[in-house]
C-alpha cells in the first residue's frame, strides 16, 4: 500500500463512514486514537454541519481521519414512478401520523460547498461514494495534501477510479451494509453484485492502485483474508455501528443481534438506491415496488423513518447492516480496534505457519 496512507494509521483498519448520524466525531476519534482510521460521513449534512463536525473531531484527537462525500446524482428518475410510490406510502404516513417528505429536496447533497470547505481546511483523507469525481477535483485535493479514495463495486468501476487519478480504491463487496457505491444506478444489475474476495481478486488484476476491502468484515481473521487477497487495509461499518460511541439509534444497535431480524437484503424501499439492511416489515411490504429514484425516495421516506425511530418501531426504520451483523460486538470503539488488531496478528501468524501444528 502507498506509504502516504499507511503512514497515517498503524493498524490496517478503517472505520466506514456511515451517514445518517452513525459516524459521529466521538466514534471517529476513538478509532483514530486506537490506531485505526476514523471517518466522518458528510452525506445528508450541510457544508457547515460537516465543518462543525470536523472541528469537533480535531478537538478530540490529533490523529489523522477521513471525511466521506456523496457524489451528485444525475437526473434520470421517473417522476411518475415516484408519484406511484408516494401513493403506496400514504398508509405509512397515516400510520405514523406524519407527512411524506418532498422528493425534490435536492440531488447534489451540497457537493460543491463541501468540496470548498475541504479545500480551504484540508483533512488527511477524503473518500467518495456513488461515483467518481473529476480529475481536477482529485488533483486539487492532492495539492492540498489530502489522500483520496473512491468506492468501486466492479473491476470496470475500479479502472475508472484509477483513470480519474484517485490514490486508492475502496473495493466494496455485495456483503456490505448500507448503500452500494455503484457509479451508475442500473436496476438491471440489482442482483449481480460480486462477493468481496472474488471482487478483490478481479480488481487486483485490473488496477495498480492500493485497495481497501469493504463488505461483511467483522473479525480480524477476515481482515487477514482480505489482506491475503490483495487488499492493504479493511473498512468495517457494521462492526463499528454496534460500538458504544456510535451515533446509531439504540433500536438499530439492538436489531443487529436480535433473533427477530435473521437476515439482510439489498433493497430500494427506503432510498431508491440498492442498500443492504435487516429485513423488516417496511422492506418486505415496499421493497418489491420501490423505483430506482435516488435521492427522491430517500427524501420521500425520511419523515417516516424518523417517526418510526422516535416511536420505538424498528419495523419502519432503515436498519442498515452487512451480512456479518450477527457477529457484532458491543464494545468501546477503541477496544474493538485493539481486539481486531490482535485477531489479525493471530491469523497472520497462523497463515504463515508459525503458529500451526508441527
pLDDT for res 358: 46
Q: What is the mean pLDDT of residues 103-132?
A: 97
pLDDT for res 2: 54
* Average pLDDT along the chain: 95
What element of type H or E holds 289?
Answer: none
Q: Is the pLDDT at 154 greater than 60, yes or no?
A: yes
Query: How is the beta sheet containing 125-129 ordered, strand by strand?
Result: 13-15, 233-236, 211-214, 168-172, 147-152, 125-129, 65-70, 38-41
Q: Is the pLDDT at 131 greater than 90, yes or no?
A: yes
Residues 6 or more apart whose CB falls under 8 angstroms from that of 116 comprise 47
And the C-alpha cell for 63? 490523529
Find the angle CA(332)-CA(335)-CA(337) to the nearest 5 degrees.
110
The predicted-structure confidence for 267-316, as pLDDT tens digits, reads as follows: 999 999 999 999 999 999 999 999 999 999 999 999 999 999 999 999 99
User: Residue 268 and residue 291: Cα distance in Å, rounded?
Assistant: 7
User: Residue 340 and residue 239: Cα distance in Å, rounded?
Assistant: 10
Nearest to 266 by CA among 257, 279, 253, 254: 279
> Is residue 255 within 8 Å of residue 309, measured between CB atoms?
no
Q: What is the mean pLDDT of residues 214-232?
A: 97
User: Residue 250 and residue 197: Cα distance in Å, rounded?
Assistant: 32
For the question of whether the overall pTM of this predicted structure is more than 0.85, the answer is yes
User: Residue 140 and residue 335: Cα distance in Å, rounded?
Assistant: 36
Determine whether 338 is exposed, middle or buried from the number of CB atoms within 10 Å of its CB (0-12, 13-18, 19+).
middle
Q: What is the mean pLDDT of residues 123-143?
A: 98
Q: What is the mean pLDDT of residues 217-235?
A: 97
Find the angle CA(294)-CA(298)-CA(302) to the nearest 5 degrees.
170
User: Residue 241 and residue 330: Cα distance in Å, rounded?
Assistant: 9
User: Residue 169 and residue 166: Cα distance in Å, rounded?
Assistant: 8
The predicted-structure confidence for 95-104, as pLDDT tens digits, reads as follows: 999 999 999 9
And the C-alpha cell for 54? 470536523
Q: Is the pLDDT at 20 greater than 50, yes or no?
A: yes
Q: What is the mean pLDDT of residues 47-64?
A: 98
pLDDT for res 88: 97
Q: What percentage of the chain carries pLDDT values higher than 90?
A: 92
Beta bridge partners of 125: 66, 147
pLDDT for res 1: 47
CA dihedral 72, 77, 81, 85 (to 10 degrees): 0
Amino acid at each position: 500500500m502507498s506509504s502516504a496512507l499507511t503512514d497515517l494509521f498503524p493498524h490496517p483498519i478503517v472505520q466506514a463512514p456511515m451517514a445518517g448520524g452513525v459516524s459521529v466525531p466521538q466514534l471517529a476519534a476513538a478509532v483514530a486514537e486506537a490506531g485505526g482510521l476514523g471517518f466522518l460521513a458528510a452525506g445528508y449534512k450541510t457544508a457547515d454541519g460537516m465543518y462543525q463536525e470536523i472541528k469537533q473531531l480535531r478537538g478530540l484527537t490529533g490523529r489523522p481521519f477521513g471525511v466521506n462525500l456523496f457524489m451528485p446524482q444525475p437526473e434520470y428518475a421517473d417522476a411518475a414512478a415516484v408519484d406511484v410510490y408516494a401513493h403506496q406510502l400514504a398508509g405509512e404516513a397515516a400510520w405514523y401520523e406524519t407527512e411524506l417528505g418532498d422528493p425534490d429536496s435536492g440531488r447534489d447533497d451540497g457537493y460543491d460547498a463541501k468540496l470548498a470547505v475541504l479545500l480551504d481546511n484540508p483533512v488527511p483523507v477524503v473518500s467518495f461514494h456513488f461515483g467518481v469525481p473529476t480529475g481536477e477535483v482529485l488533483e486539487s485535493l492532492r495539492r492540498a495534501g489530502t489522500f483520496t479514495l473512491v468506492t468501486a463495486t466492479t473491476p470496470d468501476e475500479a479502472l475508472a477510479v484509477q483513470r480519474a487519478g484517485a490514490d486508492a480504491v475502496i473495493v466494496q463487496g455485495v456483503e456490505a451494509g448500507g448503500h452500494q457505491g455503484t457509479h451508475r444506478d442500473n436496476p438491471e444489475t440489482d442482483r449481480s453484485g460480486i462477493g468481496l474476495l472474488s471482487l478483490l481478486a478481479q480488481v487486483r488484476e485490473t488496477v495498480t492502485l492500493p485497495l481497501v476491502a469493504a463488505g461483511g468484515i467483522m473479525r480480524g481473521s477476515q481482515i487477514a483474508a482480505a489482506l491475503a487477497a490483495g487488499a492493504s487495509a479493511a473498512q468495517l461499518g457494521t462492526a463499528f455501528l454496534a460500538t458504544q460511541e456510535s451515533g446509531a439509534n439504540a433500536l438499530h444497535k439492538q436489531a443487529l443481534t436480535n433473533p427477530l431480524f435473521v437476515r439482510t437484503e439489498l433493497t430500494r424501499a427506503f432510498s431508491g438506491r440498492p442498500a443492504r439492511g435487516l429485513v423488516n416489515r417496511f422492506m418486505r411490504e415496499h421493497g418489491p415496488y420501490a423505483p430506482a429514484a435516488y435521492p427522491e425516495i430517500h427524501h420521500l421516506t425520511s419523515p417516516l423513518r424518523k417517526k418510526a425511530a422516535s416511536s420505538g418501531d424498528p419495523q419502519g426504520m432503515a436498519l442498515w447492516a452487512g451480512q456479518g451483523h450477527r457477529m457484532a460486538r458491543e464494545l468501546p470503539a477503541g477496544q474493538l480496534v485493539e481486539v481486531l488488531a490482535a485477531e489479525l496478528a493471530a491469523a497472520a501468524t497462523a497463515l504463515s505457519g508459525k503458529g500451526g501444528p508441527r
